[in-house]
Amino acid sequence: MPIDLHTHSTTSDGTDTPAELLRAAAHAGVDTVALTDHDTTAGWREAAAALPAGMRLVPGVEWSCVSSDGRGGYCSVHLLGYLFDPESPALVAEQARLRAERRKRLRLMAMRMAEDHLPIDTEGLLAGLPEDSSAGRPHLARALIAAGVVATVDQAFAEYLNTGGRYYLARVDTPVERAIEMITAAGGVTVMAHAFARTRGSVVSPRVIAELADRGLTGLEVDHPDHDPAARVELRMLAAEHGLLVTGASDYHGTNKSVKIGQERTADDVFAELVARSTGTPVITGESAT
């Protein structure tokens, strides 16, 4: 029963619509998929409506958070939330704030690029995003490709979009402890995404993981394409030490990344445990057409 618990659709920075994403999953033989768009649950409805018979949809989110790095500074943390009540008022308000923050930041980055004579149509870019979707740097990467400035998303990041680069602007993300509290209060479970993906920038120290486990974090995403074998060993040991569940997932983004859906997976018993610990919203099962 292949289970992939981290994917992105056009509701954030993936290139497949929720319906296309589920078709890609079915084609790859994945029967359980979590839709985890950045800072939005707006794709859940389309995904549920398009769910092929026999497949299971795990409603989720990947929440943009900020954390102490455990060395006196701060770093970005992505928190996966699953099976929470999407109408929880605190959560709805904070995610709406984050999406507004994302649009404002993308507009400012695009304006800086336009000032440097990069051919970016800022307003057209923002107008083309679906309602309640999350704007991100991959959208700017696509605009640079469309304008013929770069050939690939990777090149766009390397030359224009990487953290700390000329056009990069930070966002005001949610403190990770707050996001854990909000998802837990809404009946969901939480898994820290790609915690040791060191190529993306600074990452949390083991002590921070211990502290977040004390505050209710449910699991660690260990098997992720951005984790090398050493990072996986380290994270598996930390998970065992602090009683955290171990998940695996592809972080599929359609053609914005080269990973394939189902490339990394979560074990059946771990998935059952995540479901058993959540009360906010059920796993959705595709009914056979009658």
End-to-end C-alpha distance for the chain, whole angstroms:
24
Choices 114-122, 193-201, 224-232, 263-271; region in contact with Fe ion by CB under 5 A: 193-201
Residue 16 phi, psi dihedral angles, 5° rounding = -95, 140
Q: Which residues contact 111 (CB under 8 A, 6 or more apart)?
A: 122
Q: Which of 116, 154, 228, 268 binds ligand AMP (CB under 6 A)?
A: 154
- In whole angstroms, the minimum distance from the beta carbon of 38 to ligand AMP comes to 6
53 versus 170: smaller Cβ distance to ligand AMP: 170
Is 138 near ligand AMP (CB under 6 A)?
Answer: yes
The least CB distance from residue 216 to ligand AMP, in Å, is 24
Is residue 13 involved in binding Zn ion (CB under 5 A)? no
* Integer Cα distance of 219 and 245 in angstroms: 4
The C-alpha atoms of residue 208 and residue 261 are separated, in whole angstroms, by 30
280 contacts 85 by C-beta, under 8 angstroms: yes
- The stretch among 136-144, 178-186, 221-229, 281-289 that binds ligand AMP (CB under 6 A) is 136-144
Q: Dihedrals φ, ψ of 57, to 5°?
A: -110, 130
Determine if residue 102 is left, alpha or beta; phi over 0 gives left, psi from -120 to 50 gives alpha, anything else beta.
Answer: alpha
Is 120 or 183 the residue whose CB approaches Zn ion more closely?
183
Which residue has 């336009």 as its token pair? 114
Report d(CA 217, CA 191) in Å as an integer.
6
The binder of ligand AMP chosen from 43, 136, 188, 262 (CB under 6 A): 136
How many whole angstroms separate alpha carbon 190 and alpha carbon 8? 17
Q: Which of residues 249-278 bind ligand AMP (CB under 6 A)?
A: 253, 256-257
Q: In 3D, which of 288, 275, 270, 265 has the Cα closest to residue 3?
A: 265
Q: Which does 218 bind (CB under 5 to 8 A by kind): ligand AMP, Zn ion, Fe ion, none?
A: none
Q: Show the binding pattern over residues 33-62: x = contacts ligand AMP (CB under 6 A), - = does not.
A: -----x------------------------
Residue 52 or 74 having the CB closest to Fe ion: 74
Residues 56, 78, 139, 224: which binds Fe ion (CB under 5 A)?
78
Tell me the closest approach of the beta carbon of residue 224 to Zn ion, in angstroms. Answer: 9
Candidate segments 17-25, 70-78, 95-103, 105-113, binder of Fe ion by CB under 5 A: 70-78
Among the residue ranges 19-27, 79-87, 152-160, 185-193, the one whose residues contact ligand AMP (CB under 6 A): 152-160
Query: Among residues 6, 56, 137, 142, which is the contact residue for ligand AMP, using CB under 6 A?
Result: 137
78 vs 265 by CB, closer to ligand AMP: 78
Task: Label residue 72 exposed, middle or buried (CB < 10 Å: 0-12, 13-18, 19+).
Answer: exposed
The first and second tokens of residue 40, run together, are: 């939005």
CA distances from 182 to 81, 127, 217 (A): 10, 30, 12
Contacts with ligand AMP by CB under 6 A lie at 13, 38, 136-138, 153-154, 157, 253, 256-257
Contacts with Fe ion by CB under 5 A lie at 13, 78, 193
Contacts with Zn ion by CB under 5 A lie at 62, 251
